[in-house]
Amino acid sequence: MRTRTTTDRRTVSFGIVMLATIFMLAQGGKTGYAQQRFISEYSQDHTIVEVPFLYREHQILVHGDIDDKKNLTLLFDSGASAPVIDTSLGIQGYHLADTTIHEAEGDTASESIWVGDISLGEANSAVHVHNIAVLTADLSQISSVLGQKIDGIIGVPFMAGFVTEIDYEKKNLRFRSSRNYTIADRKPDNQHTFAFDLTPANAKRNVSCMLLTGQLQPKYEYDFLFDTGFSGYVSIAHAAAEQAGTIKADTPRASATSYSVSRSFHSDKIRAGFLMLGEINLSGRVIAIDSRNNDAEGQTGIVGNRFLQNYRVTFDLPRHKLWLERVTTKQELDEAETPTLGLVVRNDGKTIVVDRVKKYSPAQHSGIHPGDEIVSIDGHDVSTMGTQAATDLLASPHGMTALVLKRAIDPNLGTRPEPVTLQLNPASPLDWKVE
């Protein structure tokens, strides 16, 4: 059976898949001493503290302070098992251990330190955690991917003392004291509101990332990481997807790239034939098939911001509860759903020549071949409209597209056949006909 893949710059995912990937491995005798000496304390300036956030490339970015470093840009990540600070900040805390960050496709050396205070919000209206362990790491790749300097990552230990509401519509985080507020007694209608019992990803840790249970098939349960540090919709480990029959050799797919702290890794995007997240039916949605580390880490799935942004999310980490309230019926299309012709062209400033025709694409079905020169698009000569405008139109067609081509020179005859006119109907790579 044949496998079709297609690579396009627009299919790159900005998923900073922080953990399923980060684990703090404390080593050395000082760790126990430090844990006895320091106890994390949680406080807030008001009963409800609202912290506005910037939603950039489907990542939640907030402003906060770490010790004497003010107005830092921090990524709010429920999938990170520890806060992380960029080494460039030069923050000096109490040394706990030399540690390792386990991430996609490799390990990164780090240091575990205690810092005195992390605060989110503004003066007199903030939430604070005093005495908290953090990791240090080079976050330059995350900054590069997002196009903005990222100073640190807020992980689940920061969230452990609060009930946190994420309002994607108003771009606000709302913090309430977990001692005075809970969502444990809420009853869902499973139409507009949904409740989940969460399971710690690491049963041996008091504060851990959280998993919620879904189904890849009616009798195939599967755990998903609740991860606001993942910009995608839903991802599934490749081995589990194969076992459940979610992906097969001839499943249409689009190639994508995802990112962890300092590394990138390959994934494929497909349409899920069947997928349930609790009582929420996600069948037919575009999901990522994650093949990092060759499936060696026993990964869970991941639920990210492109799914969560359709809900008002309340995360009660101390009681292992998650509440979703549907706020929109409009679903954002994934890049892999964008209609395309399946052409890769060369533009030398004067002509546009077909360099490659993607397998099973509308271009291939229409009979276009490498070496064909495109001289007209929808009745407009390339020489008149300009090669760059023509290239952009081929990359993002607006509907049925008429192309006039000068055929490549026939190697047997040594001549170029007469120009031909073809009609191409753009289609998503996930909808290309596999024959």
* Residue range 307-363, pLDDT digits in tens: 999 999 999 999 999 999 999 988 888 888 889 999 999 988 889 999 999 888 999
pLDDT at 104 (0 to 100): 66
Give pLDDT, residue 5: 31
Q: Which residues contact 231 (CB under 8 A, 6 or more apart)?
A: 13, 14, 15, 16, 57, 58, 59, 304, 305, 306
Task: Please check the confidence at residue 258 and state whether its pLDDT lies above 90.
Answer: no
pLDDT digits (tens, 9 = 90+) for 9-54: 334 555 555 443 444 433 333 444 444 456 899 999 999 999 999 9
Reduced to 3 states (helix: H, G, I; strand: E, B; else coil), residue 423 is strand
pLDDT value of residue 16: 53
Contacts of residue 8, defined as CB under 8 A and 6 or more positions apart, other chains included, come to: 254, 255, 335, 340, 429
Q: pLDDT tens, 259-297?
A: 888 778 888 999 999 999 999 999 999 999 988 766 665
Domains assigned to the chain: 30-177 (2.40.70.10), 187-308+327-335 (2.40.70.10), 338-431 (2.30.42.10)
Using CA atoms, how far apart are residues 271 and 287, in angstroms rounded to an integer? Answer: 6
Q: What is the mean pLDDT of residues 240-265?
A: 86
- What is the rounded CA–CA span in Å between residue 84 and residue 154? 7
pLDDT in the model for residue 252 = 87
